[in-house]
Structure 1
Amino acid sequence: MRIKWFSFVRIAGLLSVLTYHFFKNAYPGGFIGVDIFFTFSGFLITALMIDEFFGKGKFKLIAFYRRRFYRIVPPLVLSVLVVVPLTYLVSPDYITGLGRQIAAAIGFTTNYFEIATGGSYESKFIPHLFVHTWSLAVEMHFYLIWGLLIAIVTGIIRRLNINLKTKNHLFRWSIGIISLGLAIGSSILMARNSAGLSDFSRVYFSSLTHSFPFFVGATLASLTGIKYVTAPFDWLLKKSNAWLVTIALLLTFFDLGMLGLQLQFTNRTTYTGGILEASVLAALAIFLTRCLHNATPNVNEPKWATFIADISYSMYLYHWPLFVIFSKLMSVPEAALLTVIVGVPFSALSYYVIEPLIAGKHPRVLKNVKLSRVTVPLTIVTVGLIAVATYTSVKAPNLTSLEQNLWVGGLKQSVDQMTTTKDVILASAKPKQVFAASSGKIPKGASIIGDSVTLGTRDYLGKNVKDSTIDAKGERTMDLAYKVMIAQQKNGVLRQNVVISIGTNALDGTDKQLLKLIHDLAPGHRLILVTPYDQRAEPDWNSSKLADFERTLPKKYSFITIADWQKMAAKHPDVFKGTDGVHFAGRHEGDVIFAQVVNDGLKRASKTPLKSDA
């Protein structure tokens, strides 16, 4: 039984996700499209389970798993095979760890693979081509666990010595109570586990914390249904007015759209209620479309809507890797358009031809065509694609060029820190030795404290900034930079000019942390602030706001100088071509420009006074 208008719920989810990935700055909360899909899946699967039990008096677990396999796995494998050859159009960085990515995607463990490897849904460095399959992992985990739970409940109820009507009522209410309890538990777990996090990817990816949208949908299914509906809902269906339901449905979609504009991935409120609100609104949309189905018996769903809904799953699979590849070759709008142009026909081929063939059915679109005419060329192409995917996975690098650069920089830094530590220990052990740490004299030169941008150019920077020491680390925030500065200050190794290159990882309150750093910097030092640069950043991003705040400080503090990396980097966009827009991946021209900014800042700082005791 196909319900008219359900297609629009799927379309809302797909449009939300596509808009978010294509134009993230314009629609920052579009990731709720995944939760619309989750809620719809939870409703549909559970409603079909109820229909199966009511119609046959049992639930076949293996048959359920088989249907899920044929619906999910073939399109996924096909999308991987189609995408891999296209990676040769871009940098080898984009196939880093490709074999592991593919294994995680097909093994439905991408969510935990990303947690384990420090991945982020709002990608850092080079984005994983199949990071979006985290949602398939969560969905598959739901199917496995929920199917098993329903099978257990079914087995218990079937053994009870009660009439069929009572068994049906008990089955429905058991599902409702269990799904409501799991929805509440999972949402509370997400809210609680999000406390104190600066990167929310671990609670976003986890099946435990992000499964509640499925159970919101399942709870709705127990209260309504598809074929076998509850008595109260049946009464409501008979009373439904098409115009009123349509208006309510449009308002619900509008609320979902507005929520997508308001939510931020980096905001904790998203995890303490935002995603739950999206799931409840999605459930309301499902409820209203189910009502609209009965209220419009003489109106057919538009064929274009049915088509988009049919290919929505496959389109979700194709859109992200295609967009990642195309966006490195052309502008974002052009890449978005080409992604749709390429993705739609492949998605249609998958749904209308490949999936039926794998399931042992004759595709309806090929009813007048001999299957051998289709299966033979498809088999040959598939074998070829498998060969390309295998070769590419074997040859794929284990680290991106940026990660290699950061790794080498980190090793060299560790050696330097060991040397510095040894000097401090020797100085304290030999009081007569003239050394800054024991004499109290501030060393000349520059102490550079930075994040991954600084770490990436550390080798060049150390050779081209006179009398400098460098302490840099990936994902370093201002509060962590403060701790490094204070530790160096206490050990007497903090040099006269202190360069702080922090900010691309700026969190809320970074300006207050910077003021604390300024206050606790000892007299006798100058402070040079390197403004952060992120090619993707809008004016309201924390990194942009920090740069603006830093520029106001020299007027208040005479010992502060600005080294404006943000403005200089913006003049050299080619340095960031094919990167994440923050790091220049060890490119020599980037090293030169960054070192120039630091040296210019130090030169201007030399003409300013040191911090005084006043």
Structure 2
Amino acid sequence: MSSPSPRSAHLPGLDGLRAIAVLAVLVYHLSPGALTGGFLGVDIFFVISGFLITGLVLRERETTGRLRLRAFWLRRARRLLPALGALLLVCSAVAWLIGGDVLLHLGRQLLGAVTFSSNWVAVANDQSYFDETAPELFRNLWSLAVEEQFYLVWPLLVLPLALIRSRRVRVAIVAIIAAGSAVAMAVLFPPAGDATRVYYGTDTHSFGLAIGAVLAILTSRWTVSRLVAARWFRVLAPILGALSLAALVVVASVFTTDAPLVYRGGLVAVALLTAIVIWGSITPGSPLGRALDLAPLRWVGTRSYGIYLWHWPVFVLLVAAFPSWERTGGSGWLLGGVAAAITVTAAALSYRFLEQPIRRDGFRAVAGRWFGGWRGIRGVGTAATVLVVGALVATTTVAVLAEPDQGDAQALIERGKAAIASATAAPTPTPTPSAAPGTPTPGPTELPPPPAGADITAIGDSVMLASAPELQAAFPGIAIDAVVSRQASAAPAIVQGMVDAGILRSTLILGLGTNGPVDESVLERIHHIVGGGHRIVVVDVQAPRGWVPGVNTELGHFADEHRNVELAHWQEAIAGQLNLLARDQIHPGSRGGQVYVDCVKAALQRLDDLPPLQGAQEFWLPQVPPLLRR
């Protein structure tokens, strides 16, 4: 492929691929659970960025013999800063008008945004990407930080690479960088913990950028004449690209943020598939490139940066402004649709009146047009612009000063943490001994008596944590292991550890599923570990998340399949009393915690009321066919 100038170049299909990436992210965030792997859109962006920036640097180096770093970074600033500045000022001002949780850590977030270090600021402050308790207005800017750090450092590395005459050596060096980042993510990923560090880290999440760079080096010397002559290439590349695009769609439908496979090769596979899609699109005459260049996709793709910037803050602000708005079912789709409409409108206006003028004419020329005239109609416009910008800056300053110490959900969680810490410091009641691992399970009449608190182990997420004081009051001596952002997939290892240590009590309460889907195999592993001699209560989930219906269905099936398992109907009990929850419609206060406890009590009572089974109908023994009984 010929090498056009950086500004005039149009690479077929890339705008359409950008559109697909940003739409996946929008569906993932604005309609939680509808596309569980939509977060991979960010990794598609990384590959595109690595490909474009490396190609631009190589072209300038080859055509001029040097790289003007100041001009390169100025172009990046013109591209990124105008939309970002407008977003920060407008959304911070609106957050001040709404107040409450949306102001949490606002100053810290703004600092990370303007220094392009949001990812490391979040890591340094233990702010989890997966934490649903705090809305974090500018959480989505972590990926912009990773890209900007790449823009700052990568040109300095490409220059010495360009001096290496062998293209194979150059490719090998960049491929080693990509592999090192991927291995770092896999090695540092904590299977039973929070994956924020490896997801946010520039070191652990740069493989997509590097894979894009590899593709740019491989294609940097393509010529139209060579590619047109290679008919097999022109046929094969689009086919492989189309198949890879289809694979990305499938992956976006099945990936979940709690799956270890995502961090141990899954995201690398997404980056490689994206590189193949790009390769298949930019091949001359590619039908894939033409398909991805359809006008609607190109329109979205050229505005994808603004759409990505605005979608998450707009959604957070809407949720905060209308806390009683149902966020699941038809109402949830309506909320997401309103957020999407506002997002696209804001991005289009920013692109038309801010980003494009500054990108084309520069900061100084645009500022001169805005602030350069003080007479007549132009003077009125200038004055209005000064007033609006001044008001936004002032309101943003006031918003930072008005930051609360913690959000309402976080306050409830801290209350639960304090209760658990206080109970830990007190003498621990002696629990009723439970069956040791490997011993025969008790018969039908040997189910343990109704449990006292000293006989109960409770494992859960932040919902159980917020309910801890009420659980302790209802079941004195209960052992509660509950943490924020816990995924159900972490539970089997926790339960096994308790069994191995001999501290698992005769009744187990599980309160998981708020933070992501629950797999049947996870529940069955837990049941296998504890055996039939334990009572198990699983608490279903109330949260405005798309995966909740599936979670509650899975928990209900699990309870139906096992006689020693009962479902606590938390969602049904709290559905008409959402005012007893924090504004996130997830975490209970004191009165909500009492409803949670009542559901658990009712489930335990149902287990206690079960009549004993007789003979071969015991739930852990197989039925004997009638013919064999004779």
Q: Same fold (TM over 0.5)?
A: yes
Question: What is the alpha-carbon distance in structure 2 between the residues aligned to residue 188 and residue 483 of structure 1?
Answer: 28
Question: What is the alpha-carbon distance in structure 2 between the residues aligned to residue 473 and residue 272 of structure 1?
Answer: 26
Partner of 1:503: 512
Whether contact under 8 Å (1:198, 1:266) holds in the other structure is no
Structure 1 alignment gaps of length 5 or more: 158-166, 425-441, 522-526
Instruction: State the 1:211 CA deviation.
Output: 0.6
Partner of 1:37: 45
- Tell me, what secondary structure is at the counterpart of 1:272? helix
Partner of 2:559: 550
Question: What is the alpha-carbon distance in structure 2 between the residues aligned to residue 242 and residue 597 of structure 1?
Answer: 63
**In terms of mean alpha carbon deviation, does 538-547 or 182-191 score higher?**
538-547
Q: Residues 432-462 of structure 1: CA distance to partner in whole angstroms, max 9, x if unpaired? A: xxxxxxxxxx998324524332331233444
**In terms of mean alpha carbon deviation, does 400-409 or 87-96 score higher?**
87-96
Whether contact under 8 Å (1:60, 1:151) holds in the other structure is no
Partner of 1:183: 178
Partner of 1:209: 204
- Alpha-carbon RMSD: 4.1
Partner of 2:337: 337
2:463 to 445, 449, 453: 453
Whether contact under 8 Å (2:117, 2:145) holds in the other structure is yes
Q: Residues 359-405 of structure 1: CA distance to partner in whole angstroms, max 9, x if unpaired? A: 33656xx99x9887765533332221121122112211132222222
Whether contact under 8 Å (2:43, 2:271) holds in the other structure is yes
Q: Residues 213-239 of structure 1: CA distance to partner in whole angstroms, max 9, x if unpaired? A: 1111111111113xxx335x7511465
Question: What is the alpha-carbon distance in structure 1 between the residues aligned to residue 149 and residue 43 of structure 2?
Answer: 15
Whether contact under 8 Å (2:188, 2:198) holds in the other structure is yes
Whether contact under 8 Å (2:541, 2:551) holds in the other structure is no
Partner of 2:598: 596
1:282 maps onto 2:289 in alignment: no
Instruction: State the 1:198 CA deviation.
Output: 4.4
Q: Residues 76-115 of structure 1: CA distance to partner in whole angstroms, max 9, x if unpaired? A: 2211111123335756123221211222222222223333
Query: Which amino acid in structure 2 is aligned with residue 568 of structure 1?
Result: A
Question: What is the alpha-carbon distance in structure 2 between the residues aligned to residue 479 and residue 443 of structure 1?
Answer: 26
1:415 to 419, 422, 440: 422
Partner of 1:360: 363
Whether contact under 8 Å (1:311, 1:347) holds in the other structure is yes
Whether contact under 8 Å (1:22, 1:336) holds in the other structure is yes
The 1:466/1:204 distance shift into structure 2, 3 A limit, reads closer
Question: What is the alpha-carbon distance in structure 2 between the residues aligned to residue 489 and residue 291 of structure 1?
Answer: 62
Instruction: State the 1:562 CA deviation.
Output: 4.6
Question: What is the alpha-carbon distance in structure 1 between the residues aligned to residue 239 and residue 161 of structure 2?
Answer: 39
Instruction: State the 1:11 CA deviation.
Output: 1.3
Matches within 5 A, 1:191-590: 191-194=186-189, 196-225=191-220, 229-230=221-222, 234-237=225-228, 250-292=242-284, 304-327=296-319, 329=322, 330=325, 331-355=331-355, 356-357=357-358, 359-360=362-363, 362=365, 376-421=383-428, 445-447=452-454, 448=456, 449-451=458-460, 452-463=462-473, 465=474, 467=476, 469=478, 471-475=480-484, 477=491, 479-480=493-494, 498=507, 500-504=509-513, 509-518=522-531, 527=535, 529-535=537-543, 536=545, 538=547, 544-554=553-563, 557=564, 562-570=567-575, 572=577, 575=580, 578-579=583-584, 582-584=586-588, 586=589, 588=591, 590=592
The 1:353/1:373 distance shift into structure 2, 3 A limit, reads farther
The 1:571/1:296 distance shift into structure 2, 3 A limit, reads closer
Query: Which amino acid in structure 2 is aligned with residue 480 of structure 1?
Result: I
The 1:314/1:473 distance shift into structure 2, 3 A limit, reads same
Question: What is the alpha-carbon distance in structure 1 between the residues aligned to residue 537 and residue 178 of structure 2?
Answer: 47
The 1:53/1:125 distance shift into structure 2, 3 A limit, reads same
Question: What is the alpha-carbon distance in structure 2 between the residues aligned to residue 528 and residue 143 of structure 1?
Answer: 53
Q: Residues 17-60 of structure 1: CA distance to partner in whole angstroms, max 9, x if unpaired? A: 11222234221111121111111111111111111111110112
Whether contact under 8 Å (1:81, 1:389) holds in the other structure is yes
**In terms of mean alpha carbon deviation, does 290-299 or 136-145 score higher?**
290-299
TM-score, normalization by structure 1: 0.78
Matches within 5 A, 1:127-206: 127-153=135-161, 157=163, 169=165, 175-194=170-189, 196-206=191-201
Whether contact under 8 Å (1:61, 1:151) holds in the other structure is no
Instruction: State the 1:314 CA deviation.
Output: 1.2
Question: What is the alpha-carbon distance in structure 1 between the residues aligned to residue 380 and residue 159 of structure 2?
Answer: 41
Question: What is the alpha-carbon distance in structure 1 between the residues aligned to residue 510 and residue 408 of structure 2?
Answer: 22
The 1:65/1:594 distance shift into structure 2, 3 A limit, reads same
Question: What is the alpha-carbon distance in structure 2 between the residues aligned to residue 102 and residue 532 of structure 1?
Answer: 37
Question: What is the alpha-carbon distance in structure 2 between the residues aligned to residue 583 and residue 377 of structure 1?
Answer: 44
Partner of 2:446: none
Say how many residue pairs are matched.
Answer: 559
Whether contact under 8 Å (1:93, 1:397) holds in the other structure is yes
**In terms of mean alpha carbon deviation, does 499-508 or 177-186 score higher?**
499-508
Query: Which amino acid in structure 2 is aligned with residue 409 of structure 1?
Result: G
**In terms of mean alpha carbon deviation, does 96-105 or 117-126 score higher?**
117-126
The 1:298/1:7 distance shift into structure 2, 3 A limit, reads closer
The 1:571/1:292 distance shift into structure 2, 3 A limit, reads farther
- Tell me, what secondary structure is at the counterpart of 2:512? coil
1:93 maps onto 2:84 in alignment: no
Q: Residues 162-208 of structure 1: CA distance to partner in whole angstroms, max 9, x if unpaired? A: xxxxx8x55x5664333222122222322333363444332222111
The 1:19/1:528 distance shift into structure 2, 3 A limit, reads closer
Fraction of identical pairs, as percent: 26
Instruction: State the 1:307 CA deviation.
Output: 3.5
Question: What is the alpha-carbon distance in structure 2 between the residues aligned to residue 338 and residue 13 of structure 1?
Answer: 20
Whether contact under 8 Å (2:30, 2:339) holds in the other structure is no
Whether contact under 8 Å (1:237, 1:294) holds in the other structure is no
Query: Which amino acid in structure 1 is aligned with residue 587 of structure 2?
Result: H
Instruction: State the 1:145 CA deviation.
Output: 2.2
1:59 to 38, 43, 67: 67
Query: Which amino acid in structure 1 is aligned with residue 392 of structure 2?
Result: L
Whether contact under 8 Å (1:84, 1:388) holds in the other structure is yes
Question: What is the alpha-carbon distance in structure 1 between the residues aligned to residue 131 and residue 581 of structure 2?
Answer: 16
Whether contact under 8 Å (2:280, 2:288) holds in the other structure is no
The 1:569/1:553 distance shift into structure 2, 3 A limit, reads farther
Question: What is the alpha-carbon distance in structure 1 between the residues aligned to residue 546 and residue 296 of structure 2?
Answer: 36
- Tell me, what secondary structure is at the counterpart of 1:71? helix
- Tell me, what secondary structure is at the counterpart of 1:254? helix
Instruction: State the 1:294 CA deviation.
Output: 8.6
Question: What is the alpha-carbon distance in structure 2 between the residues aligned to residue 268 and residue 181 of structure 1?
Answer: 23
Question: What is the alpha-carbon distance in structure 2 between the residues aligned to residue 268 and residue 483 of structure 1?
Answer: 20
Structure 2 alignment gaps of length 5 or more: 1-7, 326-330, 431-448, 613-619, 621-630
Whether contact under 8 Å (2:178, 2:210) holds in the other structure is yes
Question: What is the alpha-carbon distance in structure 1 between the residues aligned to residue 528 and residue 290 of structure 2?
Answer: 67
Query: Which amino acid in structure 2 is aligned with residue 445 of structure 1?
Result: A
- Tell me, what secondary structure is at the counterpart of 1:273? helix
